[in-house]
Amino acid sequence: MKLYDGGRAPNPRRVRIFLAEKGLSIPLVPVDMAAMGHRSNEITSLNPLQRLPVLELDNGSVITESVAICRYFEELHPQPPLFGEGALGKALVEMWNRRVELNFMAPVTSAFRHTHPAMVEWEVPQIPQWGEANRPKAIGFMAVLDEQLATSAFIAGDQFSIADITLLVSVDFLKPAKIVMPEEFVNLKRWHEVVSNRPSAKA
Ligand SMILES: N[C@@H](CCC(=O)N[C@@H](CS)C(=O)NCC(=O)O)C(=O)O
């Protein structure tokens, strides 16, 4: 089994954090994304979308999409549960993971990809106005996150989950996206400190 990894990029990091939380060590194949390694023939043959991460199994099967890769490991290694427990717990984790992906991770990464000069070849067409338009969207959703975290230790409830991992990589990507978290979001800040101190956050 091999995990094609993309270094500091948020989606590959999601999977590395997930594996660290599970205590799993999977052989990594580093791909130099700055040198466009993700557009190589090797990666394209595994994933025609030319995106990372990519998990290649020993039988030749290929899994792309960070959440699908994490789901695979969750099924093989159910402990600790990171996709929630029970009908309600699982639904809430899925709900928050999707909410964070669509309403926060997407605007944060779009702000970066549509404004940063290094992304010109990645994001075609690069539309700086669209990047600018996404900054207030990301900040607007922080209010929803902050409200949820006012009464909940983690984003989907009392237990750390994949939704926290998606949120962590997105909050950590605010800096490259040149978005500042407003001081008023004290619950989100408290949560960020807590999850950043977990050993897995170094992944
Ligand atoms: N939905 C995919 C997104 C994967 C993705 O966009 N990965 C980025 C790195 S964070 C990438 O490979 N980008 C390459 C490109 O845009 O050319 C997932 O969850 O894995």
H-type helices in 23-127, by residue range? 41-46, 66-76, 86-100, 106-115
CATH number of the CATH domain containing 96: 1.20.1050.10
Closest ligand 1 atom to 52 CA: 12
194 with 105, same domain? yes
CA of 52 to the centre of ligand 1 (A): 5
Q: Are residues 145 and 108 in the same domain?
A: yes
Question: Does 81 map to a domain?
Answer: no
Atom of ligand 1 nearest to the CA of 67: 19
**Which residue among 51, 63, 101, 121 is best mutated to probe the pocket of ligand 1, counting the most ligand atoms within 8 A of its Cβ?**
51
Do 114 and 188 lie in one domain? The reply is yes
Number of domains in the chain: 2
pLDDT, averaged per 10 consecutive residues of the chain (203 residues), comes to 95 98 98 96 98 98 98 98 98 98 98 96 96 98 98 98 98 97 98 98 96
User: Is the separation of the CB atoms in 95 and 115 below 8 Å?
Assistant: no
At 21, the amino acid letter reads E
| Domain final residue pick, 76, 98, 121 | 76
User: What is the extent of the structural domain holding 64?
Assistant: 2-76
Beta-strand ranges (E) seen in the chain are: 2-5, 28-30, 54-56, 62-64
| Full-model pTM | 0.98
Domain-embedded: residue 144: yes
SS3 percent helix, strand, coil of the chain, rounded to 5, is 55, 5, 35
Residue 76: its pLDDT value, please? 98
In the chain the first and final C-alpha atoms are separated, in Å, by: 19
End-of-domain residue from the set 76, 96, 120: 76
28-30 and 2-5: which strand pairing?
parallel
**Domain-located, residue 146:** yes
Are 52 and 31 in contact by the 8 Å Cβ rule? The answer is yes
